[in-house]
Chains A and B, each alone.
Chain A
Amino acid sequence: MRHIRSNASFLALLLAVAAAWLPGADDAGSKALVTADWLSKNLTNPTLRIIEVSVDPGVYEKGHIPGAVNVRWHSDLVDTVRRDIISKEGFEKLASQAGLTPETTVVLYGDNNNWFAAWGAWIFTVYGHQDVRLLDGGRKKWELDKLPLDTIAAAPKATTYQAKAANGALRARLSDVLAVVEGKDKAGLLDIRSPDEFNGKIFAPQGVQELAIRAGHIPGAKNVPWGKAVNQEDGTFKKPEDLKKIYADAGIDGSTPTVVYCRIGERSSHTWFVLTRLLGYPAKQYDGSWTEYGNAVGVPIDNPAGTVWGGK
């Protein structure tokens, strides 16, 4: 009898473990991420849709995770005329073509440690999609694990997807940032660029154009480069307790909302994802970022290096 009961409880345990791995049935901690191993065993799971958003959109055709749909960050996720994220109608069209329903578990991944996959996750969240996750380690981890790649573009059956109105609470505008700088609003500012950009020594990192005519950072911002959140060897996120410490050292503990920004406004989504989804902290993404702030007329900046664009 006892033997049977222990067997039964073992079975129950097994079921519980299995249930924890099923999308939509797990706890908040892992609701943000899936592992490469798990994803490789769930490629045909009908409740999933895998979406690649890579900095280099052409990398998809050279081999992608089987079944994944390609989304191009510079044309599919933005309004190419206004400097804005994609419109609600545009997003609905995109999601319909990707065969999504509001219940679909969306797993995003991409190159460069999920930089723009995280940005995709932010936009999906802005338009109210419920279950949005990242593949931990993105393309890098998948390739390191030598998991299979496919070159056939997925052609999912189109749906009619209805998005929610854009959630403005996830997005900071220049006026919101200025309110923080002027002390009218209480929030933390987090700059995720390199220390040299933050300190105004350089205007842009190597290999990219200088887009702002001033160097430095938003007054009061703290600097935690995005890369501190990942394990360099495989691109996976660090453990939540390590992440907590990294951001606590910069004075960010989730007690007040944090506004994250970078240079052109996409990369900071990576840190936005860490703060909101892995640590549960309130955070907004300032997608105008330094390209807007550093060029805005009549706003205060902090430039410790004292560089002047065009030379002193």
Chain B
Amino acid sequence: MSAPASVTPVSCTLAGVLFFLGLGSSWYLAGSADFGPRQAFQVLAGLALGVVLQRSRFCFQCHLRDLLAPADGRRDSTGTVALLVALALGLLGTSIVLGAWIVDPSRGHLPPIAHIGPVGWHLLVGGATFGLGMALSGSCISAHLYRLGEGALVTLPALFGVVLGFGLGFASWNWFYVSGIVVAPVWWLPALTGGYGLAVLIQLGVLAALAWWLLGWRRAPEAAPSSDGRTAVLTAVFVRRWPAWVGGAAVAVIGTVTLLRGDALGVTAGIGALARQLSDVAGLLPVRLEGLDGFRGCRSATGEGLLSTNLFFVSALVLGSASAALTAGQFAWRVPPWREAVLALIGGILLGFGAMISLGCTIGVLFSGIAASAVSGWVFAVAMLVGLWLGLLLRYGRGQWKDPLRAPGIES
């Protein structure tokens, strides 16, 4: 079913070639007439995020599943706490940037770029659908992308499903918009509390309380094998899985710097724009998507054409992940059994639909939203957890959390 994974001179060379292909694309884009520094930077950020996600296995579904429905029956909150670390540091970094842009939040202007979306029941539908899709397809969209870089072919039906799901989302968007989104308030906590301080403190407090509570289920990490200094460091960086919280912290740093360079972190805008153009060609797109392009979030606006900035980011993410996986000896083509492929397709459709209706996914709405103190991020998070819980129950049944999917050679 799957080829064995190992580190060889060939895999290391290939890793280097892929990584430099990414750097070279960035250099090319920086000087090209059609693109520029924005796309060049997004390629670098995508490469970095790909490396971080692969090295730390930063995956919302896997982390939450270790807590909610562990395969070996022993709950572990380590990964979920890492998600909280990402949110807390992302919140601090993003607030520092937004504070420079919108000096006085009470004046009524929303910071641009930041993913602050409308708060309404559509988020409950979108979030829960997305959570269900995570459980069925095996991960959220960002994790599918980095797992594609590891050679997991199950991500292909999942990503195909995401495109289909986006199409369904576009087809039903106008109904959701007129039925609720149009009157949904766009709540930004610093505007509601009259400043950044209180908004940040309240959210940090919630995150800290959650972390404190969850630490009761934390399992001690495996000890690193003893070896001399240099080898130990090289192995820790390039081969062994990074501690989960390091992944969380790195995601927060990447989210903050991309925002500073004019794009909030998100992985669905490019796929969404692609799906929108495909739906248009297929004649499935409504003549007009009411109000859609006026919202902030992972916008699927087609103004940039097929080669959108976000598509460069996402492609670089896959490249970065592949390069990291090859270096670690964790790259292997893995062909899924047909049942898993079908589940991935169905899950993918739910992911795409949920991400379209919610204007983003676990990265774009949940991470970038909460980091920006958007109420929409929190509402999506709660709905997604409910959907994920239901999905895990559906998929694995209560009490017997076994995962036939877990890839060999990858401890996670």
Contact = CB atoms under 8 A, between A and B. Distances in A.
B371 to A, nearest CB: 16
Interface centre among B97, B101, B303 (most CB of A within 10 A): B101
B52 to A, nearest CB: 24
A207 B303 CA distance: 9
Given A151-B100, A151-B101, A151-B260, A61 B109 contact: no
Interface string A207-236: 100000000000000000000000000000
A19 interface: no
B112 A57 contact: yes
A58 B112 contact: yes
Contacts of A97: 107
Contacts of A61: 101, 111-113, 262
Interface in A105-161: 151-153, 155
Nearest to A56: B112
A61 B102 CA distance: 9
A72 interface: yes
Interface in A145-191: 151-153, 155
Contacts of A151: 97, 100-101, 260
B100 A63 contact: no
A198 interface: no
B21 interface: no
Interface residues of B, number: 16
Nearest to B263: A62
Interface string B106-124: 0101011100000000000
Contacts of A152: 100-101
Interface in B72-110: 97, 100-104, 107, 109
B101 A153 contact: yes
A63 B262 contact: yes
A152 B103 CA distance: 9
Interface centre among A61, A62, A207 (most CB of B within 10 A): A61
Instruction: Specify the main secondary structure of chain A where it touches its partner.
Output: loop
Interface string A38-64: 000000000000000000011011110
Contacts of B100: 151-153
Nearest to B100: A152
Nearest to B103: A155
Nearest to B98: A61
A62 B262 contact: yes
Contacts of B107: 97
B113 A58 contact: yes
Interface string B22-55: 0000000000000000100000000000000000
B101 A72 contact: no
Interface in A57-87: 57-58, 60-63, 72
A222 B324 CA distance: 63
A62 B113 contact: yes
A72 B260 contact: no
A57 B101 CA distance: 12
A72 B113 contact: no
B262 A72 contact: no
B103 A60 contact: no
Contacts of A207: 303
B336 to A, nearest CB: 41
Nearest to B114: A61
Nearest to B260: A151
Given A61-B262, A62-B262, A63-B262, A153 B103 contact: yes
Contacts of B101: 61, 151-153
Contacts of B113: 58, 61-62
Contacts of A60: 112
16 contacts: A57-B112, A61-B101, A61-B111, A61-B112, A61-B262, A62-B261, A72-B109, A97-B107, A151-B97, A152-B100, A153-B100, A153-B101, A153-B102, A155-B103, A155-B104, A207-B303
A-B CB proximity, top 8 nearest: A58-B112, A62-B262, A155-B103, A152-B100, A61-B101, A153-B101, A61-B112, A153-B103
Given A62-B38, A62-B262, A155-B104, 6 more contacts: A58-B113, A63-B262, A97-B107, A152-B100, A153-B101, A153-B103
